Amino acid sequence: MPVLPGAEPYRHDGGEVGVLLCHGFTGSPQSLRPWAEHLAAHGLSVSLPLLPGHGTRWEDLRATGWEDWYAHLDRELWQLSERCERVFVAGLSMGGALALRLAAKHGDRVTGVVVVNPANRVHGLAAYALPVLRHLIPSTKGIASDIAKGAATELGYDRVPLHAAHSLRRFLRVLDGELPQVTQPLLLLRSAVDHVVPAADSARVLSRVSSTDVTESVLEQSYHVATLDHDADRIVEESLAFVDRLAPRVGKEGTAPVG
């Protein structure tokens, strides 16, 4: 199936500091594209891949699982680290969860982690019935475009395939056991109002990781897809400051930054 217009992956070869960005479940690179382009404009190397089963039609997602999504990102991380001295991982929602697993598994290869409204579990009573429901009901209502900013929309599926949702639930349970392996500096940004991922998920992540350099930032004006919402500029600014603190780069005038 052809990729939907706007859902294409994005890459930029910049300097020796790289950022791997991960989009969310049923979403696409479109939700992180402005963030990626701002990072690239500041001289960073950026990789924003399209996860398997995403960006085409929801039926394609049904045939994939978390192992496919993670393996794709794992390969992207290796490729980015081959040309960059320092690599950061970042993501939105499920993408944040995948970024945390990359950090847990790759140790010193990952310099820092930035997550926006990271998912930690699939919520609701129906989640416990997914092992059976997925064989009876192919899909349910979509979760895309939880955005406070009226003019903004997320390019994502209008249906959630239950086979893939079941796989996501399994992945998040695996990740929860691995979170103590995350030791890298962590910047976690969460929306004060989120209709997809509750604040309890961020709290769980913060309570489970072993990182000692942790910053939590509350986004007061955005819903779940904060990267396209009123706080999008703030996400860019805080993530750039985080990267520059941990991996100082040569300044615009060709001089090393002071301090």
- The 3-class secondary structure across the chain, one letter per residue, is CCCCCCCCCEEECCCCEEEEEECCCCCCHHHCHHHHHHHHHCCCEEEECCCCCCCCCHHHHHCCCHHHHHHHHHHHHHHHHHHCCEEEEEEECHHHHHHHHHHHHHHHHCCEEEEECCCCCCCCHHHHCHHHHCCCCCEEECCCCCCCCCCCCCCCCCEEEHHHHHHHHHHHHHHHHHHHHCCCCEEEEEECCCCCCCHHHHHHHHHHCCCCCEEEEEECCCCCCHHHCCCHHHHHHHHHHHHHHHCCCCCCCCCCCCC
Burial label for 10, CB within 10 Å (0-12, 13-18, 19+), is middle
**Predicted local distance difference test score (pLDDT) of residue 126:** 64
- State yes or no: is 167 an active-site residue: no
Q: Is the pLDDT of residue 54 over 50?
A: yes
| CA 83 to chain CA centroid, nearest Å | 22
Name the pairing type of β-strands 17-22 and 10-12. Answer: unpaired
Q: Would residue 82 count as lying in a domain?
A: yes
Q: Which residues are annotated as a binding site?
A: 25, 94
Q: Any bridge partners for residue 160, and if so which? A: 140
Mean pLDDT of 98-125: 92
Q: Would residue 177 count as lying in a domain?
A: yes
Q: Would residue 251 count as lying in a domain?
A: no
Listed range (68-72, 162-166, 171-175, 213-217) with the worst mean pLDDT: 162-166
- State yes or no: is 108 an active-site residue: no
- Out of 31, 72, 194, 211, the active site residue is 194
Question: Quick one: what percent of the chain has pLDDT higher than 70?
Answer: 92
Q: Would residue 259 count as lying in a domain?
A: no
**Predicted local distance difference test score (pLDDT) of residue 105:** 97
- State yes or no: is 166 an active-site residue: no
Mean pLDDT of 48-59: 96
Q: Would residue 255 count as lying in a domain?
A: no
**Predicted local distance difference test score (pLDDT) of residue 258:** 34
Confidence of residue 124 (pLDDT cuts 50, 70, 90): low
Mean pLDDT of 68-93: 97
Q: Is the pLDDT of residue 138 over 60?
A: yes
Token duo for residue 9: 């992956």
Q: Would residue 99 count as lying in a domain?
A: yes
CATH of the domain at 229: 3.40.50.1820
Mean pLDDT of 208-223: 97
| CA 141 to chain CA centroid, nearest Å | 22
Which amino acid, residue 51? L
Separation between Cα atoms, residue 247 and residue 245, nearest integer Å: 6
Confidence of residue 125 (pLDDT cuts 50, 70, 90): low
Q: Would residue 25 count as lying in a domain?
A: yes
**Predicted local distance difference test score (pLDDT) of residue 257:** 38
- Out of 93, 139, 167, 222, the active site residue is 93
Confidence of residue 157 (pLDDT cuts 50, 70, 90): very high
Separation between Cα atoms, residue 80 and residue 94, nearest integer Å: 21
Number of domains in the chain: 1
Mean pLDDT of 98-124: 94
Q: Which residues are annotated as a binding site for substrate?
A: 25, 94
Q: Would residue 23 count as lying in a domain?
A: yes
Q: Which domain holds residue 128?
A: 10-246
